[in-house]
Structure 1
Amino acid sequence: MIWWLIAFAHGDLDQQKEDFVPCVTDIHSFSSAFLFSIEVQVTIGFGGRMITDECVSAIIILLVQNIVGLVINAIMLGCIFMKTAQAKRRAETLIFSKHAVITLRNGKLCFMVRIGDLRKSMIISATVRMQVVRKTTTNEGEIVPLDQIDIHMDNPVGTNGIFLVSPLVISHVIDKNSPLYELSAFDLQNDNIEVIVVLEGVVETTGITTQARTSYLSDEILWGKRFVPAVNEEDGIYSVDYSKFGNTAKVPTPVCSAKQLEEGGGMALFKLQESTHPKASVRRRRVKQSSLSQDNPTQQSTGQEEDQAQSTVQSTDLLTQAEI
């Protein structure tokens, strides 16, 4: 439109003199002005239509249009690159459970989190890393306020690499090499620690590395709970219920640390703690039956048998406490 106005104002549309020099040659209508503008915008190259030094305004418009064309190309290329190469949008589909849990697995205390991928496209070479951030003091008395300690992962694959086709529970066995080895349920409530979980991999569609991170504070780590299964199988078909992704269920778990559990006999100590529940029921049964023994001698003898059983349980408890 601007080129047509320049040609119209200069009289290029109706040339009457043979020695007339137009601003732009071979512009006779709006269509020819539009074609010349396209040649300038995309730098195709001038043919029969080209600018002359007759009009200063035409030269200025030519420079401005070239600069505007370069800016538009740069913006479009930037938008396309950000759309295809931005890893943040892909990282938003990698989810973590709201809480982490500590419970028994194969007779050992384990720290566990659940991760998942909401998209159908795969994350190639996915890996999981964990770090414990806490305040520590060295043997020389140096205080490290934010000491970062790597912890080993014990995932279903056996290494840090995972195949994230469905929600996975990633576990860390709390052993002698773990920074959580001396952590008990009471210490967890009073200690100021943070566990950082990093999931990274290559996006299948773009080939660009993406990374998702989360962290769990002391009040976000649940002791004595496990994750509810989210993968169901029916007639050979597996389905994932993401509504159960972060659900947990309470399970019997010793409240002592992994160190105390190992030094106290492992699972034997935990089983002894579980045996404290039936003792109360024995006492209630004895009291109830002894009250009825006044009218029935048979019931009285039964109460005596219960007294003997209770005394046996109490003696067993004393032996248990002595062993502990």
Structure 2
Amino acid sequence: MSRTLRVQSDFFHTGNTCPRRDYLTERRIQKTRLVTKDGRCNIEYGNIEYSKHWSYMADFWTTFVEIRWRFVLFFFIASFTLSWFIFGLIWYWIARNNGDLTWQSPPDNHIPCVINVVGLTTAFLYSLETQTTIGYGVRALTPLCPGAVAVVIIQSLVGALINCFMCGVILTKISLPKKRAKTITFSDMAVISPKNGALCLSIRVANMRKSLMIGSQIYGKLLRTTHTPGGETIIMDQINIDFEMDAGKDNLFFVCPLTLYHTINKSSPFFEMAVDTLHNKEFELVVFLDGTAESTSAACQVRTSFIPQEIMWGYNFLPIITKSKEGKYRVDFSNFSKVVPVATAHCAYCFHSIKGHHHFSKHGQDNPGFEVIDITDPPSVTKM
């Protein structure tokens, strides 16, 4: 037990003694992991045929929705400004053919195609007023030129199409399901400790909004490099990791923070690991949570990952749910990522095979604050 605490303590106090080394280590970890803590995939594609790049334009709607906001705003401004200018040139050409421009010195009884369009600037202003339906009343179309009437119709239709497309892109980007995923958070660390007579790897997940996630399901993938008997190396070999809770593993009632756990038995890939070898392993545990937002009915997926250095052996999460004297339930998120040490066997094999290594609490971590309003932290608490 003392060995377990010493290993975990050395890991968590590294940043206090050598902040620069801890910063460089963190940067190296971020570059090597496939999925970042906030769910972004750290992967790039190379040697794609040049002809395949046109596939992005064939699916231009998805391309516009997925590009960054700076490019969306650029295309928004450019599409309107360019259409105003192009039609402004057309109106200038119509006025020039009809002899309406100032430098053409039209006679006093001359009837123009567009009143007060006497130059390029006024033609641009009339184009802007037409497409945006401003209508100041200074410039107006006359029935003298049938071609000008057709241009008004065409410009109105083009302006409506641009409005529909750009507004649709902006609204779609604002309402993307991944924005809903920002309010679902996982614990910074995973813990390994006994639970209900079994050795389990546990993580904590919370929904920061009061609106529920309907039909929530959680599962995991263990990514690691394996070698086949034939000498083949498989990079990012995926192994299914099942997570469950006391009420089951399907259709979670995600109304409050949940602690989900994976039972480490003989069929688990964590069975061969121990407290002194865990941090020397090379793997990445990617955890997924799928669900449908109650307020928008949009399906979304939340992802995070844990590397060996982010798994604490011999610790358990602190309780965060209390009940007040008035009967209301209260969630204290200050304890969301806090853990306390618990008696735990130093390896899964010892837990299952060696007598005397089944160190676990019958009912798990007690919650002494369940009947009070305030939550007080115990003296020996480790914050992730």
TM-score (norm 1): 0.65
Deviations 1:156-202 (A, max 9, x none): 32123311111100001101111111111112021112111101101
Q: Return the alpha-carbon distance in structure 2 between the equivalents of residues 270 and 38 of structure 1.
A: 80
SS of the residue corresponding to residue 357 of structure 2 reads helix
Q: Return the alpha-carbon distance in structure 1 between the equivalents of residues 330 and 164 of structure 2.
A: 46
Specify the code of the residue in structure 2 equivalent to 1:96.
F
Q: Return the alpha-carbon distance in structure 2 between the equivalents of residues 270 and 56 of structure 1.
A: 90
Aligned counterpart in structure 1 of residue 286 of structure 2, from 196, 205, 230: 196
Q: Return the alpha-carbon distance in structure 2 between the equivalents of residues 51 and 198 of structure 1.
A: 64
Question: Which residue of structure 1 aligns with residue 335 of structure 2?
Answer: 244
Q: Shift of residue 78 of structure 1?
A: 2.6
Question: Which residue of structure 1 aligns with residue 308 of structure 2?
Answer: 218
Matched, 1:151 2:241: yes
Q: Shift of residue 127 of structure 1?
A: 0.6
Q: Shift of residue 62 of structure 1?
A: 4.7
Question: Which residue of structure 2 aligns with residue 294 of structure 1?
Answer: none
Return 5+ residue gaps in structure 1 as ranges.
11-15, 26-36, 43-48, 272-324
Question: Which residue of structure 2 aligns with residue 206 of structure 1?
Answer: 296
Question: Which residue of structure 1 aligns with residue 38 of structure 2?
Answer: none
Q: Shift of residue 39 of structure 1?
A: 9.6
Contact 2:130–2:152, Cα closer than 8 Å, also in 1 = no
Q: Return the alpha-carbon distance in structure 2 between the equivalents of residues 40 and 244 of structure 1.
A: 57
Structural mapping, 1:99-178, within 5 Å: 99-178=189-268
Deviations 1:93-125 (A, max 9, x none): 010000000011122210000000111111110
SS of the residue corresponding to residue 243 of structure 1 reads helix
Contact 2:292–2:299, Cα closer than 8 Å, also in 1 = yes
Question: Which residue of structure 1 aligns with residue 155 of structure 2?
Answer: 64
- Percent identity between the two aligned chains: 30
Contact 2:213–2:291, Cα closer than 8 Å, also in 1 = yes
Q: Shift of residue 237 of structure 1?
A: 1.4
Aligned counterpart in structure 1 of residue 168 of structure 2, from 65, 77, 83: 77
Q: Return the alpha-carbon distance in structure 2 between the equivalents of residues 162 and 153 of structure 1.
A: 11
Specify the code of the residue in structure 2 equivalent to 1:75.
M
SS of the residue corresponding to residue 226 of structure 1 reads strand
TM-score (norm 2): 0.56
Q: Return the alpha-carbon distance in structure 2 between the equivalents of residues 22 and 225 of structure 1.
A: 85
SS of the residue corresponding to residue 203 of structure 2 reads strand
SS of the residue corresponding to residue 277 of structure 2 reads helix
Aligned counterpart in structure 1 of residue 346 of structure 2, from 239, 255, 280: 255
Contact 2:352–2:358, Cα closer than 8 Å, also in 1 = no
Specify the code of the residue in structure 2 equivalent to 1:148.
Q
Aligned counterpart in structure 2 of residue 269 of structure 1, from 346, 353, 357: 357
Of structures 1 and 2, the one with the larger relative CO (CA 8 A, separation 6+) is 2
Contact 2:131–2:155, Cα closer than 8 Å, also in 1 = no
SS of the residue corresponding to residue 164 of structure 2 reads helix
Contact 1:23–1:58, Cα closer than 8 Å, also in 2 = no
Closer, same or farther: CA 154–77 of 1 in aligned 2, 3 Å:
closer
Q: Shift of residue 61 of structure 1?
A: 5.0
Q: Shift of residue 38 of structure 1?
A: 9.5
Closer, same or farther: CA 254–69 of 1 in aligned 2, 3 Å:
same
Structural mapping, 1:298-309, within 5 Å: none
Structural mapping, 1:21-40, within 5 Å: 23=113
Contact 1:51–1:59, Cα closer than 8 Å, also in 2 = no
Deviations 1:204-257 (A, max 9, x none): 12211111100000000001100011111122211001111111111111112x
Return 5+ residue gaps in structure 2 as ranges.
1-87, 102-107, 116-127, 134-139, 360-384
Q: Return the alpha-carbon distance in structure 1 between the equivalents of residues 252 and 142 of structure 2.
A: 64
